[in-house]
Amino acid sequence: RDQRDPILSLEKINVSFDGFRALTDLSLQIGVGELRCIIGPNGAGKTTLMDVITGKTRPQSGSVTYDQRTDLTRLEPMAIAQAGIGRKFQKPTVFEALTVFENLEIAQKADKSVWTSLRARLSGEQHDRIDEMLTLLRLAAERHRPAGLLSHGQKQFLEIGMLLVQEPHLLLLDEPAAGMTDAETEYTAELFRSLAGKHSLMVVEHDMGFVETIADHVTVLHQGQVLAEGSLQQVQANEQVIEVYLGR
């Protein structure tokens, strides 16, 4: 597939909550293999946008097209996830009592039939993939530790891994570097850059330093609309963006 083809295309999305317009005629495209950052002040509509893509919130009007053919607004959240869209919320969610390895193993088999997963477990055929993932996440030394004993940042990495073993095409990540140490933030940036190309990523982020290190393309949301789009440098030079951020 052409890298410029859209993996996701939102057309004129409208969402209101009791008359309050959270998203207004919002149109947005994410290219295949792109790493896109979504920024914007609190209440801009970033979470609502993610909720619309994953089917958690139904827009009153507009369309969300995945991979140029699937209308996501007609699908249930489960079907959207199965179609290859993975989402990570801000707070890490891992099975604390299970080991790091088991967390990845469960995620990998999550939507497979019982028979397929039992057979795969017996043959150990998918364990190579988990071993690779442990190395990629810098968690190889922690594989047999209960996930509850990991640091906050390590839990974030583990959860990213739990998404990746499901081989998603599009990853939606909400402030992935929140609460991470500087070194962990740096490695997250490196990891995301290495994932882009094979995966498409949409990252909601407040930390401009982090945005600067990862994204080729930034979308600024404000009051439920796209205020500006372009490189971080371009959007930071935009008069309207400066007004919104500095409140002038």
Q: What does the binding site for ligand ADP look like in residue numbers (CB under 6 A)?
A: 17, 20, 22, 40, 42-48
Query: By C-alpha distance, which of 54, 48, 150, 50 is closest to 99?
Result: 150
Of the pair 61, 68, the CB lying nearest ligand ADP is at: 61
Tokens 């209440």 sit at which residue?
Answer: 43
Beta strand 170-174 pairing with 200-204 = parallel
Tell me the backbone φ, ψ of residue 19, rounded to 5 degrees.
85, -15
Of the pair 22, 191, the CB lying nearest ligand ADP is at: 22
Q: Kindly state the smallest distance separating residue 73's Cβ from ligand ADP, in Å.
A: 17
Helix (H, G, I), strand (E, B) or coil at 117: helix
Q: Kindly state the smallest distance separating residue 204's Cβ from ligand ADP, in Å.
A: 7
Q: For residues 89 and 176, what is the distance between their CA atoms, to the nearest angstrom?
A: 8
Q: Kindly state the smallest distance separating residue 15's Cβ from ligand ADP, in Å.
A: 8
Query: By C-alpha distance, which of 8, 46, 35, 9 is closest to 202?
Result: 35
Residue 165 neighbours by CB under 8 Å, 6+ apart: 104, 107, 108, 129, 130, 133
Q: Kindly state the smallest distance separating residue 24's Cβ from ligand ADP, in Å.
A: 11
Of the pair 105, 174, the CB lying nearest ligand ADP is at: 174
Q: Kindly state the smallest distance separating residue 9's Cβ from ligand ADP, in Å.
A: 20
Q: Kindly state the smallest distance separating residue 172's Cβ from ligand ADP, in Å.
A: 12
Of the pair 36, 46, the CB lying nearest ligand ADP is at: 46
Of the pair 52, 171, the CB lying nearest ligand ADP is at: 52
The two three-digit tokens of residue 113, written as one number:
């039939």
Of the pair 47, 99, the CB lying nearest ligand ADP is at: 47
Q: Are 117 and 160 in contact (CB under 8 A)?
A: no
Query: By C-alpha distance, which of 204, 116, 101, 206 is closest to 162?
Result: 101
